Structure 1
Amino acid sequence: MAEQLQGRTVFITGSGGVLGSTYVRRMLDEGARVIGSDLPGHRAEALKEAHAGNENFRFYELDVSEEDQVVEIFKRILADGWEPNVVLNNAAITGELLMGAGKGFPDFADLEVKDWEKTMRTNLTAPFMVARQMDRDIVGKYPCTLINVASMYALNGAHHRIYDGMPFKNFSAYGVSKAGIHGLTLWLAGYWADRGATVNTIAPGAVFNGHSDEFQRRVGELIMLNRMAKPDEIADAMLFLASKAAGYMTGQLVNVDGGFSGW
């Protein structure tokens, strides 16, 4: 795979999270130049510290929900002499992040419109704005690819019972926004087809991130492989989609979910 990522310059939004930071590490290991971005805070600082001194890594603070910041980001990157030919629309907000630590998780009937709209702004409108800026600044100027990150819940209904008694619930706005992501992929894949750009969606399954044994058991029963994913297992598929080997793929949804979507 290493030679497939040589010459790749990958721009990743939301690169400080569990999956985002894994994509950064793995792509650097495989020979890519990587541009990370995230909100200012401890995740951004940890990412910068992890790759301090690596000449193939650059970091920009970015709030993808702010239109003016998205409009400027590619101009800043290009002005600094980097030309991203792979873009990962990875930034997203989950119910847990939205509610914040220690806050109660609302039932659907109590979900506030402002929280729904904030999720849509980050998870769906922001990827549109990133893609629009790609269209303005890089698409057609050189070959490039966009990878939109969806979820196992993008095209599959949630199993609400597995959240009974858990400190979090399945979040309606998250699944709906992730379903919309693949709609964006399909539209862009055709629109950019004659301009040297490909667009695909990856739909990660349930990724272990400190979940309780009971929750792991409940989720595992819904998955053919009977377990949650390790972050590196999702990254394996992401590396392929970002590589030259995926050059004939566009408009596709790639499920990496251990068989969840097969049942």
Structure 2
Amino acid sequence: MDKQLAGRTIFITGSGGVLGSTYVRRMLAAGARVVASDLPGHRAETLKAAHEGQANFRFYDLDVGDEDQVTGIFARIMADGWEPNVVLNNAAITGELLMGAGKPFPDFANTSVSDWERTLRTNLTGAFMIARQMDRDIVGKYPATLINVASMYALNGPHHAIYEGMPFKSFSAYSTTKAGIHGLTLWLAGYWAGRGATVNTIAPGAVFNGHSEEFQRRVGQLIMAGRMAQPDEIADAMLFLCSPQAGYMTGQLVNVDGGFSGW
């Protein structure tokens, strides 16, 4: 088996979701040491159970919106003898996640400031705090890579009609933070260029996660490939961005969306 990530130690925030858990699985298979993190709860426990006993896997509880937790995370990891040289800013609150907390999905006029600010705190401020801690603890000490995870809705507006009659909608705060993520990438890419670090953004498209046939049909009509992505198809691109073969890439936005952004 090709071990394209051998020698890489990869730290992933928000590792328990459909994409995060796929990244963990695929990166371990590709020979990486994987440091996963997420909020305590069912997703974290499921991920830990799936990789229990693997020598190349570690897990840390982490709320990326908590400054004290983020400030100490790399020190904790390095104290355990691991030195992350690739970091994935993957943690994010989505509208579906808010619904999972027992809330109805709000329309724009009824979006609360608390939900808006909570989303910004996790998706954008959390990404900033992880990058800031990289600057303090990692960047310049050895070559490092940061991958910021955006979305097909980072630089493209959603087609609101596809959500009509669906239990979920496109969430304004999510799109806003994912656009901001790439702004952070561009700023950091130049700032870290002389210190041996690269920074890129990946923008996944619509990923299948138990969606109804009707929703798949609606969104598939907007995508050149005619369908939603499987999680492993996003992971294919992520593995490349984390590998030494992407060493000459920095400041880039990589769309993995089946052609959604091309129309």
The aligned counterpart of 1:5 is: 5
Measure the CA separation in 2 of the matches of 1:100 and 1:6.
Answer: 37
Deviations 1:143-194 (A, max 9, x none): 0100000000000001000000000110000000000000000000000000
Q: Per the alignment, in what secondary structure is the counterpart of residue 161 of structure 1?
A: helix
2:199 matches 1:181: no
In the superposition, the TM-score normalised over structure 1's length comes to 0.99
Q: Per the alignment, in what secondary structure is the counterpart of residue 258 of structure 1?
A: coil
Identity %: 82
Q: CA deviation at 1:103?
A: 3.0
The aligned counterpart of 2:67 is: 67
The aligned counterpart of 1:28 is: 28
Q: CA deviation at 1:106?
A: 1.0
In the superposition, the TM-score normalised over structure 2's length comes to 0.99
Q: Per the alignment, in what secondary structure is the counterpart of residue 121 of structure 2?
A: helix
Measure the CA separation in 2 of the matches of 1:205 and 1:99.
Answer: 21
The aligned counterpart of 1:49 is: 49
Measure the CA separation in 2 of the matches of 1:56 and 1:17.
Answer: 20
Q: CA deviation at 1:102?
A: 4.8
Within 5 Å, give how 1:31-180 maps onto structure 2: 31-100=31-100, 102-180=102-180
Measure the CA separation in 2 of the matches of 1:101 and 1:119.
Answer: 13
The aligned counterpart of 1:193 is: 193
Q: Per the alignment, in what secondary structure is the counterpart of residue 4 of structure 2?
A: helix
Counterpart of 1:155, as a letter, is L
2:215 matches 1:215: yes
Counterpart of 2:140, as a letter, is G
Measure the CA separation in 1 of the matches of 2:2 and 2:174.
Answer: 34
Q: CA deviation at 1:57?
A: 0.2
Aligned residues: 263
Deviations 1:218-259 (A, max 9, x none): 000000000000000000000000000000000000000000
Counterpart of 2:198, as a letter, is T
Measure the CA separation in 2 of the matches of 1:21 and 1:139.
Answer: 26
Counterpart of 1:254, as a letter, is V
Counterpart of 2:148, as a letter, is N
Measure the CA separation in 1 of the matches of 2:146 and 2:97.
Answer: 25
Q: Per the alignment, in what secondary structure is the counterpart of residue 46 of structure 2?
A: helix
Q: CA deviation at 1:70?
A: 0.2
Measure the CA separation in 2 of the matches of 1:113 and 1:247.
Answer: 40
Measure the CA separation in 2 of the matches of 1:142 and 1:246.
Answer: 16
Counterpart of 2:163, as a letter, is Y
Q: Per the alignment, in what secondary structure is the counterpart of residue 73 of structure 1?
A: helix
Q: CA deviation at 1:118?
A: 0.4
Measure the CA separation in 1 of the matches of 2:90 and 2:233.
Answer: 16
8 Å CA contact 2:201–2:252 kept in 1: the answer is yes
Measure the CA separation in 1 of the matches of 2:3 and 2:39.
Answer: 32
